[in-house]
Amino acid sequence: MSREQARRVLEQAQRIAVATHIAPDADALSSAIGLTLILRRLGKEAVAFCDDDLPPRLKTLPHADEIGRTAHGSFDLRVSLDASDPSRLGQAFRGLESLPLLNIDHHVTNIGFGTINWVEPAAVATAEMVLWLADDLGVALDPELASLLLAGIVGDTLGLRTPNVTPQVLREVVRLMEAGASLAALVDTLFNRRSLAALRLFGQALAGVQMEDGVVWTVITREMRAASGLHHANDLSLSSFLIGTEEARIAAVFTERDDGQVEVSLRARPGYDVARVALAFGGGGHPPAAGCLVPGPLEAVVPRLLAALKAAAQGETDGKAP
């Protein structure tokens, strides 16, 4: 139903501003840029925005260098991609608040902030939903579009390794590869590259790891970041690594930002739910992978979150793999 509405509202629009979430990941950028390519193929004007710096690894995605931070120009529709609440868009849509907003996302915690909301928690990535849209709109895949959409799917499934990767997803991957996307190149860019500075910070954070009541966690302070020379530390994939700890059911990484707020990156084993904890602290995500941004200081945030995480690590949710 809302997939149908999404197609219709996109067909009717002529000048479209597309935005994705701050601290962008591969799914965020690829779904936003991918949708603009689809709309341009239909003869429309479409521009992508992300109100944040792009991690170096994502600057190699097709058309990533054309992304603006804040929408400027004249538009008749806003589209939000991969963002579960409007604060995740930063100032991308500043000044365009009166325009209708199409909200396309796959986070179970999406608060439905659009004029039209198309939210599919069963989709492995927002990029997968954009692939469905391309099909609905009759736009054929080309190598650039296929690479972008595969980047989103590969990024959010950790290289096609998460439990939600079904035969249908793999058939979509085959289509994208046949259209010209390189799975090997994307896996290499998204997962096999880390700067020496990032590696050292990763090691230092790993050395400080703690474990209590099924929760494994570590802290990255401002001082650690400054010493490493890394301005942003949200591209380390450290929480995904920590959840591999045999004894843990939940993993958390607390990163102190320059403004004192604390970024919390959460992971859970199948059957446990960190999306609910993240939502309770103003964030969001998926049951096995979620996050939130909490006002500091660090010393106050860590114990508050740990109490909630330890409770979540006690209760199996519904026993089903998310």
Residue 72 and residue 68: Cα distance in Å, rounded? Answer: 9
Comparing CB distances to ligand AMP, the nearer of 117 and 234 is: 234
Of the candidates 303, 307, 304, 216, the one whose C-alpha atom is nearest the C-alpha of residue 268 is 216
Q: How far is the CB of 161 from ligand AMP (least distance, A)?
A: 15
Residue 288 and residue 240: Cα distance in Å, rounded? Answer: 10
Q: How far is the CB of 190 from Mn ion (least distance, A)?
A: 13
**By CB under 5 A, what part of segment 25-54 binds Mn ion?**
25, 27-28
Residue 67 and residue 76: Cα distance in Å, rounded? Answer: 19
The item of ligand AMP, Mn ion, none sharing an interface with residue 24, based on CB under 5 to 8 Å by kind, is none
The pair of structure tokens assigned to 113 is 């902030």
Comparing CB distances to ligand AMP, the nearer of 9 and 291 is: 291
The item of ligand AMP, Mn ion, none sharing an interface with residue 286, based on CB under 5 to 8 Å by kind, is ligand AMP
Tell me the CA end-to-end span of the chain in Å, nearest whole number. Answer: 24
The item of ligand AMP, Mn ion, none sharing an interface with residue 236, based on CB under 5 to 8 Å by kind, is none
Comparing CB distances to Mn ion, the nearer of 230 and 289 is: 289
| Binding interface with ligand AMP (CB under 6 A) | 84, 88, 107, 234, 239, 265, 283-286, 289-293
> Strands 101-105 and 289-294, how do they pair?
unpaired
The item of ligand AMP, Mn ion, none sharing an interface with residue 176, based on CB under 5 to 8 Å by kind, is none
The item of ligand AMP, Mn ion, none sharing an interface with residue 273, based on CB under 5 to 8 Å by kind, is none
The item of ligand AMP, Mn ion, none sharing an interface with residue 110, based on CB under 5 to 8 Å by kind, is none
Judged by CB under 5 A, the stretch of 49-57, 110-118, 123-131, 200-208 that binds Mn ion is 123-131
The pair of structure tokens assigned to 296 is 């500091």
Residue 63 and residue 78: Cα distance in Å, rounded? Answer: 19
Residue 110 and residue 130: Cα distance in Å, rounded? Answer: 17
Judged by CB under 5 A, the stretch of 6-14, 33-41, 124-132, 163-171 that binds Mn ion is 124-132
Judged by CB under 5 A, the stretch of 7-15, 20-28, 50-58, 108-116 that binds Mn ion is 20-28
Bond from prior residue into 297 cis (ω within 30 degrees of 0) = yes
User: Which residues 6+ apart lie within 8 Å of 45 measured at CB?
Assistant: 14, 15, 16, 39
The item of ligand AMP, Mn ion, none sharing an interface with residue 141, based on CB under 5 to 8 Å by kind, is none
Q: Hunting for tokens 């608060």 — which residue is that?
A: 111
The pair of structure tokens assigned to 31 is 């779904």
184: left (phi over 0), alpha (psi -120 to 50) or beta: alpha
Q: How far is the CB of 187 from Mn ion (least distance, A)?
A: 17
Residue 118's H or E segment, with its range, is strand 116-119
Q: How far is the CB of 288 from Mn ion (least distance, A)?
A: 12
Residue among 85, 156, 256, 263 that touches Mn ion (CB under 5 A): 156
User: Where on the chain is the footprint of Mn ion (CB under 5 A)?
Assistant: 25, 27-28, 82, 126, 156
